[in-house]
């Protein structure tokens, strides 16, 4: 008796959990390339900046999706050349009141996304 009751409780828990997670995974963002920096981005940026860390990329991502969207929408990282981004970062960092440490993290983050994409394309 106790065992079958437990089985029913366990099964209901599994069903409830499964329904909950299927709702979450149906958000319509699948087509956009991920902007979250990971191992591929860290490996790619280390070719250019051997001292780059995962923490810097995470900080850059937070700035890019935070302070950098205060005045306008999120700009497309992949539509701009590296040289053009260096120019924009110089231009925009004072607008976003970034410290030199934050600007460095943002630069590494943006270039890491582009570098990892270039590696993917090969
Ligand atoms: C104080 C407001 C402000 C902040 C903060 C700001 N921007 Fe801008 N940004 C502008 C304005 C104004 C323009 C010129 C108009 C436009 O293109 O939207 C611009 C233009 C740009 C452009 C070129 C426009 C294009 O589409 O060709 C890029 C790229 C850009 N910003 C990136 C950034 C990044 C990265 C950050 C974070 C460091 C940032 N912005 C923070 C105001 C801001």
Element (H, E) at 80: none
3-state helix, strand and coil shares in percent for the chain, rounded to the nearest 5: 70, 0, 30
What is the tens place of the pLDDT at every residue in 66-107?
999 999 999 999 999 999 999 999 999 999 999 999 999 999
Ligand 1, atom nearest to 97 Cα: 5
> Atom 27 of ligand 1 has which residue's CA nearest to it?
75
Provide Rg for the chain, Cα atoms: 21
Q: How confident is the model at residue 118 (pLDDT cuts 50, 70, 90)?
A: confident
Instruction: Specify the pLDDT at position 60.
Output: 98
> Atom 23 of ligand 1 has which residue's CA nearest to it?
88
Q: Where are the beta strands (DSSP E) in 1-122?
A: none
Instruction: Specify the pLDDT at position 10.
Output: 61
Residue 92 near ligand 1, beta carbon < 6 Å? yes
Whether the predicted pLDDT of 47 surpasses 60: yes
């Amino acid at each position: 008796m106790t065992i079958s009751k437990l089985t029913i409780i366990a099964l209901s828990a599994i069903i409830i959990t499964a329904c909950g997670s299927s709702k979450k995974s149906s958000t319509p963002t699948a087509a956009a390339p991920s902007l979250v920096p990971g191992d591929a981005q860290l490996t790619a940026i280390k070719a250019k900046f051997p001292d780059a860390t995962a923490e810097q990329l995470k900080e850059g991502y937070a700035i890019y999706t935070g302070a950098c969207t205060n005045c306008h929408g999120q700009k497309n990282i992949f539509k701009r050349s590296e040289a053009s981004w260096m120019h924009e970062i110089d231009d925009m960092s004072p607008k976003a009141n970034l410290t030199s440490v934050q600007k460095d993290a943002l630069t590494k983050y943006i270039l890491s996304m582009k570098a990892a994409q270039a590696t993917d394309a090969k």
